[in-house]
Amino acid sequence: MLIRKPRAGEGDIPSSEITPYEVYLDRRRFIAQSVTLAGAAAFVPSILGASESRQQSEELTSFEDITHYNNFYEFGTSKEDPAQYSGSFKPKPWSVQIAGECGNPGTFALEDFLKGHEVVEPVYRMRCVEAWSMVIPWRGVRLRDVLIKAQPTGNAKFIKMTSVLRPEEMLGQRHQVIPFPYVEGLRLDEALNEMTLLATGLYGKDLLNQNGAPLRLVTPWKYGFKGVKSIVKIEFTQEMPENTWQVMAANEYGFYANVNPDVDHPRWSQARERRIGEFTRRPTLMFNGYTEQVAHMYKGMDLTRWY
């Protein structure tokens, strides 16, 4: 497996330098319009986060919707629960454990864990398995850079990520609607893909509690349940880890969770989606529109079996 060297860069953005929401949005629109007028279409995907189509025409989902329409069962099962019930959660101080098949394991304060990695701000389409979607301007570091620093051994084939377990602060964990702590996993090449992000913020602001503060996974070509939130442990494994929703309902939620309009959920179609803030549904794109960036990882696989 080819492992690229991480890019040198600055640390996280201090709160004093965070761009206000309105300025951030205007800046994004200005850049996109400037690129279009210049005829530099090849440059647009690197600014707007990717892909096969629609990258110049899509509006960002509002900050209000992104932060008040969430799946985060640790705070409750309705979309409004995370914003309503996450106020007592304490995302600072925070540490992340690196374990398993690697040469540099340990437990690291979040500041040290992120230190030295390039901060990026991609805009990604995000698609929920429930057939709704958003367009989110993230901030974070590439998971690839963090993993390379951990020095995975030749035995490392997957990574297993675990979220925090704090029932005293997370109301939903007291009811065990699903097994806690929440667990997710990626194949190592998926984790090393340049699009895979450890997000620390969105819209230029630090992540709010309801969005997975202070650290969450973003894999924009996969369904949203793959985005494990409030991560406290990353483990390199030889075997494919079972994720939480596989344990709950393996016939509905597979390990890969790749967006595929041709494979329906057992209880609804995945062929179309509703963008939050819009009334009409739109066709769902294969790999959420990021085929060029990720399809090579699944060449020869039966994606109706490995769903």
Does 234 fall in a domain? yes
In the chain, how many domains are there?
A: 1
Ramachandran assignment for 176, one of left (phi > 0), alpha (psi -120 to 50 degrees), beta (any other): left
The residue written with tokens 């409030």 in the block is 230
92-106 tens-digit pLDDT = 999 999 999 999 999
The model carries a pTM of: 0.83
In a domain, 52, yes or no: no
Residue 89: inside a domain, yes or no? Answer: yes
Residue 251 lies in a domain: yes
**Which structural domain range is residue 257 located in?**
58-298
Q: Is residue 36 part of a domain?
A: no
Q: Is residue 82 part of a domain?
A: yes
Query: For position 78, which CATH number holds?
Result: 3.90.420.10
27 in a domain, yes or no? Answer: no
pLDDT in the model for residue 176: 84
Q: What is the pLDDT of residue 26?
A: 54
Residue 4 pLDDT > 80: no
Domain annotation covers residue 164: yes
pLDDT value at position 50?
42
User: What sections of the chain are H helices per DSSP?
Assistant: 21-38, 44-48, 63-68, 81-85, 110-114, 143-150, 188-191, 244-248, 291-294
pLDDT digit string (tens) for 153-211? 999 999 999 999 999 999 999 988 999 999 999 999 999 999 999 999 999 999 999 99
Tell me: the pLDDT tens digits for 125-136?
999 999 999 999
